[in-house]
């Protein structure tokens, strides 16, 4: 297994690329999640392309919800079952709610990064698996959001 430093550095780079900025690993310049969302108005974030289709705002809320649950598992504080239907309750937002939603997601991302920086035991499969799950899940939703915006 790679050293703690190398593993943490590579995972940090991939998470940064997903959420914050291009590092040349899998996104184009200006297409990270937060860069993308800064170009989206509340009205655009609330557009649905079908009766049951999710909105950008819905994806952002779902991602934030997911990070709360994932961090609960990583910190071993999560109890009970998760009602994933509640993670998709947001459809439309006004300007104030949109800014709050983006800020909430950003705060939860920073919490993930602080957790990552504090990891000492990379042999704990729950920690590595949980962080890789966060990466995969949110990279997927970044793609889904970018696809919605191109529709």
Return the percentage of the chain with pLDDT > 90, whole number: 75
* Residue located via tokens 């909105």: 55
Class for the domain spanning 4-150: mainly alpha
Mean pLDDT of 58-85: 94
Could you read off the pLDDT of 99-113 as tens digits, one per residue? 999 999 999 999 999
Nearest Cα to Cα of residue 114 among 28, 6, 1, 15: 15
Structure tokens at 88: 């998709």
Could you tell me the pTM of the whole model? 0.92
Return the percentage of the chain with pLDDT > 70, whole number: 97
Structure tokens at 115: 């957790």
The larger pLDDT score, comparing residue 25 to residue 149, is at 149
**Alpha-carbon torsion (69, 13, 143, 103), positive or negative:** positive
Question: pLDDT tier at 2 (50, 70, 90 boundaries)?
Answer: very low
Average per-residue pLDDT in the chain?
A: 92
CA–CA distance, 93 with 44 (Å, rounded to integer): 9
């Amino acid at each position: 297994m790679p050293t703690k430093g190398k593993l943490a550095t590579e995972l940090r780079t991939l998470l940064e690329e997903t959420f914050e900025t291009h590092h040349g690993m899998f996104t184009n310049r200006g297409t990270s999640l937060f860069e993308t969302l800064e170009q989206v108005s509340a009205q655009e974030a609330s557009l649905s392309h079908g009766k049951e289709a999710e909105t950008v705002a819905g994806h952002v809320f779902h991602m934030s919800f997911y990070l709360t649950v994932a961090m609960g598992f990583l910190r071993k504080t999560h109890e009970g079952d998760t009602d994933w239907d509640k993670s998709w309750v947001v459809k439309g937002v006004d300007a104030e709610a949109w800014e709050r939603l983006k800020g909430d997601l950003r705060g939860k991302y920073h919490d993930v990064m602080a957790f990552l920086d504090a990891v000492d035991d990379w042999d704990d499969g729950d920690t590595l698996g949980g962080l890789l799950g966060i990466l995969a899940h949110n990279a997927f939703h970044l793609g889904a959001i970018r696809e919605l915006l191109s529709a």
